[in-house]
Amino acid sequence: MSDKHIERSADPASQKMIKKAEEENIKIAWDRYDAMQPQCGFGELGICCKICNMGPCRIDPFGEGSQTGICGASKDTIVARNLARMITGGAAAHSDHGRDIAHALILAAKGEAHDYALKGTDKLRRLAKVYGITVEGKSIEKIAEELGEACLAEFGQQHGELRMLSLAPQRRQELWRKLGVSPRGVDREIVEMMHRTHIGVDNDYKNIINHGLRVALGDGWGGSMIATELSDVLFGSPEPIRATVNLGVLKEDHVNIVVHGHEPTLSDVVTDAVKDKELIDLAKKYGAKGINLVGMCCTANEILMRHGLPSAGNFLQQELAILTGAVELMMVDVQCIMPALSSVANSFHTKLVTTSPKCIFPGVEHIQFHEEKALEIAKKIIRMGVENYKNRTKQRVNIPPEIKGLVAGFTTENTFRILGGKYRFTVRPLNDAIISGRLRGAAGVVGCNNPNIRHDWAHIEMVKELIKNDILVVQTGCSAIACAKEGLLTPESAFEYAGEGLREVCEAVGIPPVLHVGSCVDNSRILLILSSVVAEGGLGDDISDLPVAGAAPEWMSEKAVSIGFYFVASGVYTVFGTPQPVIGSENVTNYITNELENVIGGKFAFEADPIKAARMMIEHINKKRAALKLAGVMYEKTANAKA
C-alpha cells in the first residue's frame, strides 16, 4: 500500500479514510483529480472561450498560432470575461442564499413559518435603522417583515446604492462612488455582467474587471451580508461556544446524521428535531444509544456557531465521512456538495437526501424543504436516518478517533463586547494593541480545500506562521475547520503557537489566537469588524490603511473568487494559493496583482507556498504600519519581518 494517503492530507483522520478508500477501491476526489491529469492548460491560463457558437476558441499561449478568437476577442478580453463570470457565479450563489434567508424571515414574521422564532431582536432594531425603518409603535414581527421586504427589494433594485454600503468607512464609500462601483442592486450587477460578457459587448479588460468589483461588492456588502445579518435576526447571533471537530465526532453506537451544504434554514430546525423523544426512542428500539447530529462544510459552521453541534469536517471530508460506514443519512441543501456523494453513498448503507429544488441529484431521494413545514420535514428526514440504522454493516464501521476541541461563535458584536468588557462596548483594546505594537495586525484566512494542495496543510502552516508573528487571525468556512482540527481555535493554543504579543492579548481577554467567525457568507462579518476598527480611530480612515491582509490558500470555488474580489474592492491585500485562471493574459494578471492597488487600495497576489504567502502578508502589514507611522512591533520574530 502506498503513502498516498499521507501525501493527500495533513489530517490523520482523513488519511485513515483515504487509505480505507484505496483498500476498498472506492474512488474519491483525489483519485478523480489524478485521473484528470494533465489538466487543460488553456483552461488553467483562462484563454479558452465558448461564449458563442462560433467557438470554442483558444489563444495559442506560445504566440505562434491564433492570438484572437473568431470574433476578434483578444486574450485580455477572453481572460477578463472568464474571470468576471467566475465572480458572477460566486456572487450569485452567496446572494441567492441571502435571498432565501430574507424569504424565511418574512414567512416567520407573518406567522407562516411557525417553527422559527425571531431570536435576534437587538440586531433587528439595529438593522431597521440601517434600512430607515421606523420601529416606534411596531411589533417585532412587523419590523422583521418590513426589514425582510426591504432586503428582498435590494436584490432587484435598479437605482441608488445598497443600504449596507453605508456601514463602510466614509472614505471607502466615496471612492466606490467616484469609481462607479457602488452596487445599485444585487441582481442588477449580476445580470449586467452576464450582458457585458456576452459575445460582442465589453472588450476592455479593465472595464470588465471594474464591473467585477461592483458585482463582488454586491455580494460582500449585499447578498452575503443580508444572509449573515438576517440569519442572526432569525436564529439569534452566535456567542462564543465550545464544540468538537473531525471525523471522530461520529459515534459508533448512535444513529449518525450529517447535515451538509450552506443554508441554516433547515439545519437549524433539525437541531430541534433530533431532540424529539419519539425519534430517540425509535433509535433505541433499533439498538442505538441515541441520535448524533453533526455538520459538514458551512452548514456545520452554522450549527456549530449557534448550537455548539460538532463538525465532522470540511469540503474534502464529505466523502470520507460516508467511508466511515457509520453515517445513516446525509442531508444536503446547496453549494459545495460533490455529485460523487451519491456513488460513495451507494457503496455503503448511507442514505443521501436532497432538500432544495436547486440541487437535485439523479436517482437520489428528494424531500423538498418548505419553511412553512420545517420541523415536520426535518423529523421525516431524521426518521429515515433512524430507520436506516438497522442496515448498517457493523464490520465496515471504522471511525477515526481524531477529535479536537474548539471555540467558535465570534461575531462583530461580541468581539466588541469581549474586547471592551461589560461596560465598554468597543474595539479600542484591539486598536490600542495594534498601535502599541503588541499586535502586528490582523489577517483573514478563509476558503476551501482543493486536491491540488495537500488537504488542510496550507491553511494550518499559513495560520501558524501568522500567529507566531503576532497577527490575530479570523477565519471562516473550511479554513476554520482545517485549523480547528489542528487545535488552533482554542485559547490554550496561544501558549503553544502565538507570538508573545498576541499571547498577552489572548490571555488578557481569554480568546483564541484564531477566531472562528462562521460560514462563507459570514466573511461579511470580517468586513464589518474592519469598518469598526477604522471607526474606532487611530489606524487611518479607510480599510486600505489598516495593517491587515486576507488569504484563501486552498481555494476552489467561484464563491472564493467573489469573496477575494470584494475584499480587494474593500481595500484588502489578498493572497490566493493557486492562481486564478488569468495567467494567460499578462495585462489582466498585472492589473489585478499590481495596478488595482492604485485604483481601489487592494490587490491580489498568488503564492502556493503557505509560509512564503504568510511572509508576503506580514510584509504588507509592516508596510501599512510604517505608513501609519506606528511604533515597532514589540516582539519581533522573523528575520525578514521588520516593522
Q: Measured from the CB atom, is 54 or 117 closer to ligand SF4? A: 54
Q: Measured from the CB atom, is 28 or 439 closer to ligand MSK? A: 28
Any idea what DSSP says for residue 394? G
Q: Measured from the CB atom, is 51 or 336 closer to ligand SF4? A: 51
> Which of ligand MSK, ligand SF4, none does 51 bind, CB closer than 5 to 8 A by kind?
ligand SF4
Quickly count: other Cβ atoms within 10 Å of residue 103's Cβ: 17
Binding residue for ligand SF4, selected from 130, 135, 194, 199, defined by CB under 6 A: 199
Q: Please tell me whether residue 565 binds ligand MSK under the rule CB under 6 A.
A: no
Which residue, 590, 549, 438, is CA-closest to 501? 438
Task: Decide: helix, strand or coil at residue 642.
Answer: coil
Q: Is 510 exposed, middle or buried (0-12, 13-18, 19+ CB in 10 A)?
A: exposed
Q: Measured from the CB atom, is 200 or 287 closer to ligand SF4? A: 200
> Which of ligand MSK, ligand SF4, none does 71 bind, CB closer than 5 to 8 A by kind?
ligand SF4
Quickly count: other Cβ atoms within 10 Å of residue 125's Cβ: 15
Cell of 502: 498576541
CB of residue 44 to ligand SF4, shortest distance in Å: 18
Phi, psi for residue 245 in degrees, rounded to 5: -145, 150
> Which of ligand MSK, ligand SF4, none does 520 bind, CB closer than 5 to 8 A by kind?
ligand MSK
Task: Decide: helix, strand or coil at residue 20.
Answer: helix
Element (H, E) at 113: none
CB of residue 516 to ligand MSK, shortest distance in Å: 13
Site string for ligand MSK, 542-561 (x = CB under 6 A): ---------------x-xx-
> Which of ligand SF4, ligand MSK, none does 557 bind, CB closer than 5 to 8 A by kind?
ligand MSK
Any idea what DSSP says for residue 439? S
CB of residue 437 to ligand SF4, shortest distance in Å: 52
Q: Please tell me whether residue 298 binds ligand MSK under the rule CB under 6 A.
A: yes
Give the range of 43-51, 101-109, 162-170, 381-389 binding ligand SF4 by CB under 6 A: 43-51
Bridge partners (DSSP) of residue 242 are 407
68/197 Cα distance (integer angstroms):
16
Are 102 and 147 a contacting pair, CB within 8 Å? no
255-284 binders of ligand MSK (CB under 6 A): 262
Quickly count: other Cβ atoms within 10 Å of residue 402's Cβ: 18
Helix 477-485 and helix 457-468: axis angle, to 10°?
80
Distances (CA, A) of 126 to 111, 230, 233, 609: 22, 11, 10, 42
Q: Please tell me whether residue 237 binds ligand MSK under the rule CB under 6 A.
A: no
CB of residue 295 to ligand MSK, shortest distance in Å: 11
Q: Please tell me whether residue 474 binds ligand MSK under the rule CB under 6 A.
A: no
Dihedral sign (CA 588, 590, 592, 597): negative
> Which of ligand MSK, ligand SF4, none does 57 bind, CB closer than 5 to 8 A by kind?
ligand SF4
> Which of ligand SF4, ligand MSK, none does 467 bind, CB closer than 5 to 8 A by kind?
none
Task: Decide: helix, strand or coil at residue 297.
Answer: helix
Q: Please tell me whether residue 83 binds ligand SF4 under the rule CB under 6 A.
A: no
Size of the site for ligand MSK (CB under 6 A): 15
CB of residue 450 to ligand MSK, shortest distance in Å: 9
Distance of alpha carbon 493 from its chain centroid, rounded? 23
Quickly count: other Cβ atoms within 10 Å of residue 207's Cβ: 12
381/362 Cα distance (integer angstroms):
18
Q: Measured from the CB atom, is 48 or 259 closer to ligand SF4? A: 48
Q: Measured from the CB atom, is 202 or 219 closer to ligand SF4? A: 202
353/258 Cα distance (integer angstroms):
10
> Which of ligand MSK, ligand SF4, none does 519 bind, CB closer than 5 to 8 A by kind?
ligand MSK
49-68 binders of ligand SF4 (CB under 6 A): 49-52, 54-57
173/186 Cα distance (integer angstroms):
17
Size of the site for ligand SF4 (CB under 6 A): 14
58-117 binders of ligand MSK (CB under 6 A): none
Question: Cis bond leading into 61, ω under 30°?
Answer: no
Q: Measured from the CB atom, is 83 or 143 closer to ligand MSK? A: 83
Distances (CA, A) of 452 to 162, 457, 602: 37, 11, 26
Q: Measured from the CB atom, is 88 or 475 closer to ligand SF4? A: 88
495-524 binders of ligand MSK (CB under 6 A): 519-520
Which residue, 210, 208, 202, is CA-closest to 73? 202
Please give the residue ranges that form the binding site for ligand SF4 (CB under 6 A). 49-52, 54-57, 69-71, 73, 78, 199
Could you list the residues that contact ligand MSK (CB under 6 A)?
262, 297-298, 314-315, 336, 447-448, 477-478, 519-520, 557, 559-560
